[in-house]
Amino acid sequence: MTVKKTFEEINEKIRKGNAVVVTAEELADIVEEKGISDATKYVDVVTTATFGPMCSTGAFLNFGHSDPPIRMEKIELDNVSAYGGLAAVDAYIGAAEPSTDRGIEYGGAHVICNLIDGKKVHLKAYSKGTDCYPRKEIDTYITKDSINEAYLYNPRNCYQNYSAAANTSDRTLYTYMGVLQPGLGNVNYSTSGELSPLLKDPYLRTIGIGTRIFLAGAEGYVAWQGTQFASGKPRGENGIPLSGACTLAVIGNLKEMSTEYIQPAIFEKYGVSMFVGIGIPIPVLDSDLLFNLSVQNKDIYTNILDYSVQRSNKPVLAQCSYEELRSGFVSIEGKKVKTSPLTSLYKSREIARVLKSWVAEKGFTLQPPVAPFPKGVTLKSLEQGRL
Partner 1 sequence: MQGCIHCGACTAACTKGALKMESESGTVSCDESLCTHCNACIRACPARALTYNQIRRPYVSEKRLSEAYEGR
Give me the active site residues, please. 132
Number of residues that bind partner 1 (CB under 8 A): 33
Nearer to partner 1, 189 or 373 (CB): 189
Q: State in angstroms the smallest separation of the CB of 65 from partner 1.
A: 36
Q: State in angstroms the smallest separation of the CB of 191 from partner 1.
A: 12
Q: Which of 41, 124, 349, 353 binds partner 1 (CB under 8 A)?
A: 349
Nearer to partner 1, 185 or 232 (CB): 185
Nearer to partner 1, 241 or 271 (CB): 271
Residue 354 binding partner 1, by CB under 8 A = no
DSSP letter at 315 equals: P
Q: Which of residues 78-137 bind partner 1 (CB under 8 A)?
A: 105
Nearer to partner 1, 266 or 377 (CB): 266
Q: State in angstroms the smallest separation of the CB of 367 from partner 1.
A: 29
- The stretch near partner 1 (CB under 8 A) out of 185-193, 204-212, 234-242, 376-384 is 185-193
- The stretch near partner 1 (CB under 8 A) out of 61-69, 144-152, 304-312, 324-332 is 324-332
Peptide bond into 68 cis (omega under 30): yes
The total of other beta-carbon atoms located within 10 Å of residue 128's CB is 9
Q: Which of 54, 91, 180, 318 binds partner 1 (CB under 8 A)?
A: 180
Q: Which of 344, 356, 365, 367 binds partner 1 (CB under 8 A)?
A: 344
Cα separation, 81 vs 99, in Å, equals 7
Cα separation, 199 vs 194, in Å, equals 7
Query: Taking a C-beta distance cutoff of 8 angstroms, is the pair 24, 193 a contact?
Result: no
Q: Which of 68, 85, 118, 328 binds partner 1 (CB under 8 A)?
A: 328
Q: Burial level of 174, CB count in 10 A (0-12/13-18/19+)? A: middle
Residue 51 binding partner 1, by CB under 8 A = yes
Cα separation, 164 vs 332, in Å, equals 12
Nearer to partner 1, 55 or 282 (CB): 55
Nearer to partner 1, 72 or 325 (CB): 325
Question: 11-47: buried (b, 16+ CB within 10 Å) or exposed (e) per residue?
Answer: bebbeeeebbbbbbbebbebbeeeeeeebbebbbbbb
Residue 53 binding partner 1, by CB under 8 A = yes
Q: State in angstroms the smallest separation of the CB of 146 from partner 1.
A: 27
Q: Burial level of 149, CB count in 10 A (0-12/13-18/19+)? A: middle
Q: Which of 34, 235, 326, 353 binds partner 1 (CB under 8 A)?
A: 326
Residue 186 binding partner 1, by CB under 8 A = yes
Q: Which of 79, 181, 253, 319 binds partner 1 (CB under 8 A)?
A: 181
Q: Which of residues 198-257 bind partner 1 (CB under 8 A)?
A: none
Cα–Cα distances (Å) from 327 to 167, 258, 331, in that order, read 20, 31, 11
Half-sphere exposure of 88 (CA within 13 A, CB side): 19
Cα separation, 2 vs 240, in Å, equals 24
Q: Which of residues 255-294 bind partner 1 (CB under 8 A)?
A: 263-268, 273, 275
Cα separation, 353 vs 22, in Å, equals 8
Nearer to partner 1, 181 or 321 (CB): 181
The candidate with the shortest Cα–Cα distance to 240, out of 318, 292, 171, is: 292
Q: What is the SS3 assignment for 31?
A: helix
Nearer to partner 1, 303 or 348 (CB): 348
**Segment (H or E) for 178:** strand 178-180
User: What is the phi-psi region of residue 32: left when phi exceeds 0, alpha when psi lies from -120 to 50, beta otherwise?
Assistant: alpha
Q: State in angstroms the smallest separation of the CB of 6 from partner 1.
A: 35
Residue 162 binding partner 1, by CB under 8 A = no
DSSP letter at 134 equals: -
Contact residues: partner 1, CB under 8 A: 51-53, 105, 178-181, 185-186, 188, 263-268, 273, 275, 326-328, 338, 340-349
